[in-house]
Structure 1
Amino acid sequence: MLELSEAQIGGWLGAFMLPLFRIAAMLMVMPIIGTQLVPVRVRLYMALAISVVLVPTLPPMPDVDALSLPMMLLIAEQILVGVMMGFMLLLMFHVFAVAGQIIAMQMGLAFASMVDPANGVSVPVLGQFLLMLSTLLFLAMNGHLVVFEVLAESFVTLPVGEAFLLERYWLLAGKLSWVLGAGVLLALPAITALLVVNIAFGVMTRAAPQLNIFSIGFPMTLVLGMLIFWLSLADFLAHYQLIASDALQQLRELAGTP
């Protein structure tokens, strides 16, 4: 009769549970998979499936009792690492949402908002459009496969029990300003064109004070803003490739992968 000791069961359980918590934490936070559109049960099944495939290829896990305090600390560490990696990827998608919000405010379309089904909040229509477009491009270019590759490599570069969380935390905190800067640069051509339109309306108001700028300027700004936004989409793919490659490189730096 096969007999298993408590140490063997605890070792096998720890070897599977520690990677599972890091994988599940990233899947719960990262965009596309970690949104409200994907049920929590489906995300848990995906984490279990990835763990079953990935665990046999990982380095040995720390030999710690499964019900001890050190195991709880290791689990908390893995959850924090997974959340940081997922949040780093989430920043990339918020760049396009911020750019859409800035353009919508400049063209007077900020009042036209809709409920984002992924996050459950109201966002301007232009921001939601850019967010959906970037999501489709991310999946079409197999960005999710790159993320899973970085996740698998992170178990080698950030071994369980040896992750330098404080250093990684400050690295992540330093990237928060990157979102606003990238969003402004993405929306800068449209903002500049709309600024010229607003200056032109200001000159018209000074030249002909009898014109009602509120009844003429708002619809003209809205129509010209939509035209400028449509023309700016011609270079959207080039901007997306730069932002996506930069974000994935920062994700590699956070995970310590080359």
Structure 2
Amino acid sequence: MDLTALLTSQVLGYALVFARLGSVMVFMPGIGEQMIPIRHRLAMGVVLSLALYPATPVGPLQFDTPLDLFPLLVVETAIGIWIGVTARILLSGLQLAGYQVGIVTGLSNAFAPSIGSFEGSTLLATALMLTGVTLIFVTDLHHGIIEALVMSYDIFPPGRIMAGDMAEQTVRAVSHSFYIGTMISAPFFVMGLVLNVGFGLANRMMPTLPVFFVAAPLLIAAGMFVLVVAAPAMMHAWLEDFSRWVGLLAF
């Protein structure tokens, strides 16, 4: 084999690795955030693919025509997008929890002009998601993500796609994201139930009491107190669940 053919085969193998890992970098939480420019994410994919290429089972490739590489690139890109999007779906569990907490605590009350139109819930959901992304780096879970990218070649051999299993896992990811988002916001449902029952009884005993104006600040204050107390356990539960999926790439 001459030098030109050797270099070409190595480049083609690297291109196959980049198709998967570069696609993951576009969507993976922490690295694929919208605040990070797309060019930086692609640059990260280029560097990471170059570093992990020797650790993958993808070796030098030879094809009779360049078009023979195209189906493999499509398959690898689809696998990479699936991994990144599934991780993003799990991160959205924090967003769901933030919206639920905002609704229960009254932060998204449409009758309050300053925090109406779900603005309060949106801010809370964004804060929880940013906290989750921060914890990924603080706990060195991004190292686990890199290990999972190499492990993905054991689950999805190069050039092979399991569309049925991937679709099933996507459905499970959506269901699991809804479950974890509802689970970590459960303390706020209990708080909201107790306080609203109490406000209802107070209104029955004092019909002239302006319950909305009295209850709204108390509900918000109680919600913020519960959030401060429960936030460590909430984030720990989500992070443990996310790290479990990263270690298996399956539910």
The sequence identity of aligned pairs, in percent, is 21
Aligned-pair CA distance for 1:114:
10
Note the alpha carbon deviations across 1:29-50, whole angstroms, 9 max, x for none.
Answer: 1122112211112112111111
Aligned to 1:192: 190
The correspondence for 1:77, drawn from 71, 75, 78, is 75
CA distance in 2, matches of 1:251, 1:75: 23
Q: Is the 8 A contact 1:25 1:79 kept in 2?
A: yes
Q: How does 1:3-14 map to 2 (within 5 A)?
A: 4-5=4-5, 8=6, 10-14=8-12
Aligned to 2:137: 139
CA distance in 2, matches of 1:215, 1:54: 59
Q: How does 1:1-258 map to 2 (within 5 A)?
A: 4-5=4-5, 8=6, 10-61=8-59, 63-65=62-64, 67-68=66-67, 70-110=68-108, 112=115, 124-233=122-231, 236=232, 238-254=233-249
Aligned-pair CA distance for 1:122:
9.4
Change (3 A) 1:138 1:245: same
CA distance in 2, matches of 1:113, 1:122: 7
Aligned-pair CA distance for 1:241:
3.2
Aligned with 1:37: secondary structure? coil
Q: How many correspondences in the alignment?
A: 244
Q: Is the 8 A contact 2:30 2:136 kept in 1?
A: no
The one-letter code matched in structure 2 to 1:17 is A
Change (3 A) 1:227 1:60: closer
Aligned-pair CA distance for 1:90:
1.3
Aligned-pair CA distance for 1:146:
0.3
For normalisation by structure 2, the TM-score amounts to 0.86
Aligned to 1:118: none
CA distance in 1, matches of 2:250, 2:227: 36
For normalisation by structure 1, the TM-score amounts to 0.84
> Higher helix fraction: Structure 1 or Structure 2?
2
Question: Stretches of 4+ moved more than 6 A in 1?
Answer: none
Aligned-pair CA distance for 1:83:
1.0
- Structure 2: runs of 5 or more not aligned: 110-114
CA distance in 2, matches of 1:114, 1:214: 18
CA RMSD of aligned residues (A): 2.6
